[in-house]
Amino acid sequence: MSKPIIEIKGITRDFPLGNETVYVLKGIDLHINKGEYVALMGPSGSGKSTLMNLLGCLDTPTAGSYVLNGKDVSKMKDDELAEIRNKEIGFVFQTFNLMPRTTALDNVALPMIYAGYDKNSRNKRATTVLSQVGLSDRMDHKPNQLSGGQRQRVAVARALVNHPSIILADEPTGNLDSKTSVEIMNLFDEIHANGNTVILVTHEEDIAKHAHRIIRLKDGMIESDNPNR
């Protein structure tokens, strides 16, 4: 049996608001095993985005523990979290977050600069993952020369480039038409089939159906956690 890549125990997240405190996450226990394909769902205000930020090491919890791939990240400082994000997590965002004046190849290679790879290694790996997502003929194109679906494929390639433990996708089809959304989700299915752990944050039921496990949040707590196969 696969061991957990994510182990969360008693996670809470509070935010001060004037003289009051807003309790967003109210004690989350969650295990995700290596190689799982998980959809995280919930209405606005459920704590879904806050939990995603914690899973992605973009934020730290108020209380509780978070062990990611054997490392306790819940008490890490910002620079330590930045290193963990670069090595362990590949992000795919709804808005693509690409550098507008930079080619697809250089956009994909960017995380490898922060990881300390030389230019030859960066370009070789970026070329490999762009080919993997079907963009071998678009490597020299800038984002404004690409369709929305192609830009999201560049973003997926960038997420894969550092061999991350987890692919964390936040509403990855939110800016795409239906046909392109199907293509991108088929790509995530392939990525999962190749052995990656995929966590998909979405509010769309048809997108969540691609996952093998659906976790639903409500009022800062897990409402349900069920297999989808």
Query: What confidence score (pLDDT) does residue 54 get?
Result: 95
Residue 61's pLDDT band (cuts 50, 70, 90): very high
Alpha-carbon distance of 201 to 215, in angstroms, equals 10
Residue 75's pLDDT band (cuts 50, 70, 90): confident
Phi–psi pair at 107, nearest 5 degrees? -60, -45
Residue spans of the domains in the chain: they are 36-58+85-227
Query: What confidence score (pLDDT) does residue 44 get?
Result: 86
Residue 1's pLDDT band (cuts 50, 70, 90): low
Alpha-carbon distance of 194 to 50, in angstroms, equals 28
Phi–psi pair at 224, nearest 5 degrees? -155, 155
Each residue's pLDDT tens digit, 131-154: 999 999 999 999 999 999 999 999
Each residue's pLDDT tens digit, 24-47: 999 999 999 999 999 999 988 899
The CATH number of 36-58+85-227, from 3.40.50.970, 3.30.56.10, 3.40.50.300, 3.30.750.24, is: 3.40.50.300
Q: Measure CA 151 to chain center.
A: 16
